[in-house]
Structure 1
Amino acid sequence: MLVLVTGGSGSGKSAYAEEKILSFGQGKRIYIATMFPFDKESDARILRHRQMRAGKGFETVERYTDLKGLKLDPDSVVLLECMSNLTANEMFQEEGAHERTVEAVMEGVKHLRDSVQHLVIVTNEIFSETAQYLGETALYQSYLGEINRQIAGEADEVTEVVYGIPVYLKGGCVPDEKTVE
């Protein structure tokens, strides 16, 4: 099963995605962390997410680029967080795919989807702003938008989390009949 979870910053999408993984029952839980620790703010965000996952049985795999090269146990349930960071990494890191970002990311997503039991992907909703961006920022938005559209098209479920409330856009239901805090 492929699940896409989106929402704005601080919306509760990470907590919802973790609950979705837990709803799949026991099994090898893998958290693919894509945030590259480049400053104190990213270090703090990484620490906060680790604390959220504590005691939930996740094994963390740090992977900043090249999802296609990742080998995982076929019985795994995988939480990939987040597509926004992965896209930026593929665009800007030396070992990234650069102009092949969309293709490389989608090849990696398909590889994971076909390799594991369940895959839940978190992405950010960054497209509601009215501001017009140029250059690399506009290109980043274009790449992330295309990646999100392709994943949503292939996903079994697509959920947007708004103020901690899951809004089901495609398939899906609340994992345990409560809102995510």
Structure 2
Amino acid sequence: MTAPLPRAMLIDMDDTILSAYGRPEIAWNIVATEFADELLPHAPQAVAAAIVGSARSFWSVAGAEWRMKLIQARQEVVKGGFAALASHGPALPTELAIRIADRFTAYRDEQMFIFPGAHEAIDTFKARGVRLALVTNGAADQQRAKIERFALAHRFDHIQIEGEHGFGKPE
């Protein structure tokens, strides 16, 4: 006997339906390698490691408001990584930190994809009468763009975006 389906489901978007932000260390290494000549004498791997460390420190204390300013948060993270590197060699320019952070944002967007079978699973639940709500944190414009890009809007009965409603998960 099969268990009955729930009447409704709340479904997260990033890294549940979409491969969006998993494994940042790989992305930072790839992006740092793109800037290898400008990072000398620092090795791209060392720069990426410093940025990942800065990101962990930043996000461990960052308030929810930074989810609305993800681009600026990434710029702060790279600046923090550069500051850590300055104790081991020459300082790198702030302008380069901003370009690397912005490239990371573009790279993550380029690499984003919907998990195989996600549309089908969502459509099956909806067809079987389960009410569906997409619940996601982040800025409204960035999250709406992903919803449109990956054809999610028509699949949900309700969409709750932090940047549109003024509060996010877990609130």
TM-score by structure 1 length?
Answer: 0.29
Higher strand share: 1
Higher helix share: 2
Q: Which has the higher contact order (CA 8 A, sep 6+)?
A: 1
TM-score by structure 2 length?
Answer: 0.30
